[in-house]
Amino acid sequence: MNTCAKLLGFALAALLCAVGLAEAQQPKKTPRIGYLQAPPLSVVVARTNAFRQGLHDLGYIEGKNVVIEWRSADGKIDRVPAIVAELVQLNLDIIVSGGSIVTQSAKKATNTIPIIMAQEADPVGSGLVASLARPGGNITGLATLAPELSGKQLELLKEIVPALSRVAILESPGNSGNAPSLRETERAGRAFGVKIQHIDISHNDIESAFQTATKARADAILAARGENGFAKYLS
pLDDT in tens, 139-177: 988 877 667 778 888 889 999 999 999 999 888 766 666
* Residue after which a domain boundary falls, among 101, 124, 143: 143
What is the predicted pLDDT for the residue at 70?
A: 96
* Residue after which a domain boundary falls, among 127, 143, 159: 143
CATH of residue 125: 3.40.50.2300
Q: How far are the Cα atoms of 84, 86, 98, 187, 203 from residue 44, in angstroms, in the given order?
A: 19, 22, 10, 30, 21
pLDDT band at 71 (very low <50, low <70, confident <90, very high): very high
By residue range, what is the domain housing residue 201?
A: 148-234
The overall pTM is greater than 0.75:
no
Shared domain for 35 and 6, answered yes or no, is yes
Shared domain for 227 and 167, answered yes or no, is yes
d(CA 233, CA 230): 6
d(CA 149, CA 129): 23
Shared domain for 105 and 181, answered yes or no, is no
Shared domain for 138 and 153, answered yes or no, is no
Q: Which of 44-48, 140-144, 226-230 has the lowest mean pLDDT?
A: 226-230
* Over residues 186-193, mean pLDDT: 91
- Evaluate whether 194 touches 158 at the Cβ level (below 8 Å): yes
Share of the chain above pLDDT 70, in %: 79
d(CA 13, CA 3): 15
* Residue after which a domain boundary falls, among 100, 125, 143: 143
